[in-house]
């Protein structure tokens, strides 16, 4: 048994309380065929058994984990209302909760004023930020690193804005000399600084990019979809900390509550430092904005209908776990990074692996030692499959030669890329489980690596 179920009873209590709020209406009970629901759910439960165990500490593969019990219960509770945060007409309290929760996120980054809202996810949030960049700097290029999320190149294509890719240094961060060369040769309107790359958790050097932006007049957009919340962690390396300390100077920031913010899917967030960019969103709607002259979130968002449940869940989670330095949420993020550091110590003591660069957040990349890149990739595949057979789920990353050049000078590059192992230690329980995780991994490595 590994699912949390005690909060189901709490949900029922809260639902009864919510129901009382509508007791002045004529009595009404919607009809439901409970047997039909039961048989459908039984089938769903059987089919969903084929998932990887995202909720279990033995899953350290992709950026996946269940929402916090508060978020899950609050989301479910609000489904009896099913609010729509497009307009106040469709979700009054959930719109207020969205504004409050988003303002708390903005404050976490150091902004007392901002313009921002929730989105369906990081892709939509980045789309809005780059759309505004295009409005402010028409025709000027958007630049992101080769380790930035692929969405930036694709969004630039959708928006019809030229896109340039910048090389990375040996740690997977945007290379400053490469950025300077691009900025000097072409008209750059916006630089995307990734704070926590998806593959390796690398943090681009924001202070230096901001300084370059001052001289060349480009905007700086921070993509912190994965890593944004590490602003609160107290155990970052000094170089990484320097970037987080400067986040308030960016022009726009994206963070995904559905990644490290303990939320169900469908929850990204985009923030702009200057509230005046709201003018770009201005539009009329003949249908929706009637019952209040207060701001309807649809007036500052590209999406129309959006789940009010996402805002309710986020607001409730931030009430339980405030976004405060030193608080429980911050301490649990720090534990994730601690788990990554401890895994690296064990890999180094073991000696049969290369860790190409130290983790900046909670993602660890490592590869089994071998003579050639193709052989490393084959051993990685074997380790990946054999650990999964033990119930231990890692991920893989296909990475370029440049990321291994410093740590592995004698590797024979018979292929341009190398497949390495990758783990996202994004559950706070990973730290407690690290010993068990390591013993399981080591037993597999003994078999796979020593027998070949």
Binding site for ligand PLP (CB under 6 A): 121-123, 126, 149, 151, 194, 198, 223, 225-226, 256, 268
Of 111 and 226, CB closest to ligand PLP = 226
Of 203 and 449, CB closest to ligand PLP = 203
Length of the chain: 452
CA distances from 307 to 65, 91, 94, 264, 318 (A): 20, 9, 9, 11, 18
Token duo for residue 305: 């209908």
Cα 235 from chain centroid (whole Å)? 19
Q: How far is the CB of 137 from ligand PLP (least distance, A)?
A: 21
Of 94 and 198, CB closest to ligand PLP = 198
Tell me which residue has its CB nearest to ligand PLP: 122
Count other C-beta atoms under 10 Å from residue 276's C-beta: 8
Of 115 and 118, CB closest to ligand PLP = 118
Q: How far is the CB of 186 from ligand PLP (least distance, A)?
A: 23
Q: Look at the alpha carbons of 332, 338, 342, 347 in this order and tell me if their dihedral is positive or negative.
A: positive
Of 98 and 204, CB closest to ligand PLP = 204
Q: How far is the CB of 163 from ligand PLP (least distance, A)?
A: 15
Of 87 and 336, CB closest to ligand PLP = 336
Q: How far is the CB of 268 from ligand PLP (least distance, A)?
A: 5
* Phi and psi torsions of 418, nearest 5°: -135, 135
Q: How far is the CB of 425 from ligand PLP (least distance, A)?
A: 15
Rounded Cα distance, 245 and 231, in Å: 8
Of 225 and 437, CB closest to ligand PLP = 225
Q: Which residue has the tokens 């590797």?
A: 411
Give the bridge partners for 423, in sequence order. Answer: 364
Q: How far is the CB of 63 from ligand PLP (least distance, A)?
A: 7
Please report how many Cα atoms fall inside a 13 Å half-sphere around the Cα of residue 203, on the Cβ side: 29
CB neighbour list of residue 251: distance below 8 Å, 6 or more residues apart: 133, 190, 219, 220, 221, 272, 273, 274
Query: Is residue 182 classed exposed, middle or buried when 0-12, 13-18 and 19+ CB atoms within 10 A define those classes?
Result: middle
Of 121 and 172, CB closest to ligand PLP = 121
Q: How far is the CB of 151 from ligand PLP (least distance, A)?
A: 5
Token duo for residue 397: 């990353």
- The DSSP bridge pattern shows strands 141-145 and 163-166 to be parallel
Q: How far is the CB of 152 from ligand PLP (least distance, A)?
A: 8
């Amino acid at each position: 048994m590994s699912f949390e179920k005690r909060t189901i009873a709490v949900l029922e209590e809260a639902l009864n309380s919510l129901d009382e709020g509508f007791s002045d209406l004529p009595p009404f009970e919607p009809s439901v065929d409970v047997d039909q629901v039961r048989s459908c759910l039984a089938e769903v439960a059987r089919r969903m058994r084929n998932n990887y165990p995202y909720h279990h500490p033995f899953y350290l593969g992709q950026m996946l984990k269940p929402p916090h019990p508060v978020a899950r219960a609050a989301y479910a509770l609000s489904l009896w209302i099913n609010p729509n945060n497009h307009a106040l007409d469709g979700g009054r309290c959930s719109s207020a909760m969205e504004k409050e929760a988003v303002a708390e996120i903005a404050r976490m980054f150091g902004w007392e004023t901002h313009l921002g809202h929730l989105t369906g996810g990081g892709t939509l949030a980045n789309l809005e930020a780059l759309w505004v960049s295009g409005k402010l700097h028409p025709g000027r290029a958007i630049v992101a690193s080769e380790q930035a999320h692929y969405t930036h190149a694709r969004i630039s294509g959708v928006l019809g804005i030229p896109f340039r890719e910048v090389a990375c240094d040996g740690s997977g961060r945007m290379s400053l000399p490469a950025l300077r060369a691009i900025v000097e040769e072409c008209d750059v309107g916006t630089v995307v600084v990734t704070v926590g790359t998806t593959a390796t958790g690398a943090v681009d050097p924001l202070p230096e990019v901001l300084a370059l932006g001052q001289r060349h007049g480009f905007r700086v957009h921070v993509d912190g979809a994965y890593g944004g919340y590490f602003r609160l962690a107290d155990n970052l390396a000094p170089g990484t900390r320097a970037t987080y300390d400067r986040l308030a100077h960016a022009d726009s920031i994206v963070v995904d509550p559905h990644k490290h913010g303990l939320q169900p899917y469908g929850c990204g967030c985009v923030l702009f430092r200057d509230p005046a960019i709201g003018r770009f969103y201005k539009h009329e709607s003949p249908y929706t904005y009637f019952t209040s002259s207060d701001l309807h979130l649809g007036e500052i968002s590209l999406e129309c209908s959006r789940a009010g449940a996402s805002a309710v869940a986020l607001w409730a989670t931030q009430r339980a776990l405030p976004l405060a330095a030193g608080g429980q949420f911050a301490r649990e993020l720090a534990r994730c990074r601690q788990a990554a550091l401890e895994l690296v110590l064990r890999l180094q003591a073991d000696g049969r692996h290369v860790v190409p660069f130290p983790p900046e957040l909670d993602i660890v990349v490592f590869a089994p030692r071998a003579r050639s890149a193709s052989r490393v990739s084959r051993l990685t595949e074997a380790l990946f499959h054999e650990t999964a057979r033990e119930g231990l789920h890692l991920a893989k990353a296909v990475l370029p030669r440049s990321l291994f050049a410093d740590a592995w000078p004698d590797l024979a590059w018979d292929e341009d890329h190398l497949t390495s192992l990758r783990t996202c230690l994004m559950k706070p329980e990973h730290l407690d489980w690290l010993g068990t995780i390591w013993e399981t991994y080591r037993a597999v490595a003994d078999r796979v690596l020593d027998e070949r």
